[in-house]
Amino acid sequence: MKFSIFEKSPYVLLNLLLARIASKFRWRNKDYQWVSVSKGDHFGMSFLFRCLFLAISTMLALIIVNVDYSKQTEDYQFEEGSGKTMYLNRRAPWYNKTYDAEIEYRNYAIHPLADTILTSLRRQMESNGTYSMPEMWALPPFGPLRENIVIAPTYNLATCQIEKIMTTVRDAVFCYLSDPIGFEANNRTISSELWKESYCGWSNYRSNIDDVEREMARKYMRFALIRNPFERFLSGYVDKCLNEKNFSPQVRCLGCRYNMRCFVSRLFHLLYGMHYNRTYLAREVWYVARHFAPQSWQCNFKKQLSTYNLIEYPETTNQATMVAEEFDRVLKKAGVPQDMRTIIRRELMKGRSPHSTSKSRARSGVKKMILTDRYVRKVLALMYYFDYIVFGFKLTPSLFD
């Protein structure tokens, strides 16, 4: 990108203006009379004030120029495939608009190794249009996320929650299993239950598998849902970057607003930093990490993978039926009575939860945008490569072409 001083003329003018003010600066002498520092008898003080004001004005101008130039540089790096959105909902606020990334995001940090990898990726793609992904570049599996486990002690049953894979519905199912009488007496239904207004709240959540084993019988059943990594990312992006209500657009998704290249790059840096540095994360950044971190990072799979019954979330037209059947099989094995299983099955057959994005027009648009931006696809491949390997998913062709 070429840089012309004429493009920055407002900042040059600011510098000159402040310098002019410095040359005319006036101060009070010991007799409290206003005296211009440009007078010869105060030459020493004049020189001091001139230097001080020129230094301050120059620093201000350079800071403003550098911030703006950094923004232009990042826009240049991310402009292909992200500058013009391809979403399908014309009434949405992000339709057919281009947004600059928020450069000075307070919780965003560059990880040196991730930066080297992404720089190499960009150079390869710019030089010859091809790209070979060494396995060593991929984000390592089994990262540092703590477990999020929901339990139903009555049936010695536990499930590990992985965000964007039916977590809201499972929370409602386990709440119903824990207190079916109270659940129904309060006019609650599994299909309409919301996490924020959950009847059970956090009462049946545990954040450590050791706590679960101490609380429940030695032989208990645990299961987890896993999902095609690409489809899970799509669901997370629509729900947390476009539809999210908990954070403002300036903060959500690492401050990138609707710039996909910005988001996947910053997410890659964030996850690399989490894996190697284990640094503290602010609430809104942790929120993003939980929803987009690889599935192999969840549930203490590094040590406990073989102990879980894994259910693959179906990406088919008869999704509700398949999910209901899988749940019924697990619940029957756990000893849940037939009448309760019938209620759960009926509720699951109603389909999508309030957070579901599977049939939204925005999801179709985001998918189309990703499929037309090779850089984004390759970064996603680097982030989720080991999810495909660990869980045996068929490689998504568009990510690994």
In terms of average pLDDT, the best of 144-153, 270-279, 356-365 is 144-153
**Is pLDDT at 58 greater than 70 in this prediction?**
no
pLDDT one-digit tens code per residue, 216-245 = 866 789 999 999 999 999 999 999 888 887
pLDDT at residue 48, as a whole number: 64
More confident residue, 29 or 80: 29
| Domain assignment of residue 215, yes or no | yes
**Is pLDDT at 81 greater than 50 in this prediction?**
no
| Domain assignment of residue 163, yes or no | yes
401/398 Cα distance (integer angstroms): 6
79/262 Cα distance (integer angstroms): 9
Same domain, 74 and 153: no
pLDDT one-digit tens code per residue, 106-134 = 445 788 889 999 998 888 888 766 666 66
pLDDT band at 170 (very low <50, low <70, confident <90, very high): very high
161/183 Cα distance (integer angstroms): 21
| Domain assignment of residue 22, yes or no | yes
User: For the stretch 134-154, what's the b/e string if a residue is b when 16 or more beta carbons lie within 10 angstroms of its beta carbon?
Assistant: eeebbbebbbebebbbbbbee
One-letter amino acid for residue 109 of the chain: A
Write the burial class of residue 221 (CB in 10 Å: 0-12 exposed, 13-18 middle, 19+ buried): buried
Ranking 17-31, 36-50, 82-96, 336-350 by mean pLDDT, the lowest is 82-96
Nearest to 362 by CA among 268, 248, 241, 269: 241
Same domain, 228 and 377: yes
Same domain, 189 and 285: yes
pLDDT band at 4 (very low <50, low <70, confident <90, very high): very low
| Domain assignment of residue 101, yes or no | no
How far, CA to CA in Å, does 275 sit from each of 161, 207, 302? 20, 19, 13
Q: Enumerate the H helices of 139-239 as residue ranges.
A: 167-178, 180-185, 209-215, 229-237
Task: Please say which residue of 46, 78, 110 terminates a domain.
Answer: 78
Across the chain, mean pLDDT equals 76
pLDDT at residue 29, as a whole number: 41
For residues 322 and 163, the answer to whether their CB atoms sit within 8 Å is no
Same domain, 250 and 382: yes
Strand partners for 157 = 152, 221
Measured CA angle at 333 (ends 327, 336), to 5 deg: 75
Helix (H) or strand (E) holding 159, with range, is: strand 157-160
Same domain, 70 and 157: no
For residues 73 and 1, the answer to whether their CB atoms sit within 8 Å is yes
Return the SS3 of 399: coil
Task: Please say which residue of 33, 60, 78 terminates a domain.
Answer: 78
pLDDT at residue 50, as a whole number: 64
Tokens of residue 57, six digits: 């004005």
Residue 97's contacts (CB-CB under 8 Å, 6 or more residues apart) are 85, 258
Q: Across residues 95-104, what is the average pLDDT?
A: 33
Q: What percent of the chain has pLDDT over 90?
A: 44
For residues 379 and 118, the answer to whether their CB atoms sit within 8 Å is yes
Q: How would you classify the pairing of strands 221-226 and 34-36?
A: unpaired
Same domain, 203 and 303: yes
| Domain assignment of residue 130, yes or no | no
Task: Please say which residue of 56, 78, 100 terminates a domain.
Answer: 78
Total number of domains in the chain:
2
Same domain, 170 and 49: no
Same domain, 64 and 181: no
377/233 Cα distance (integer angstroms): 11
- Domain region containing 351: 149-391
| Domain assignment of residue 294, yes or no | yes
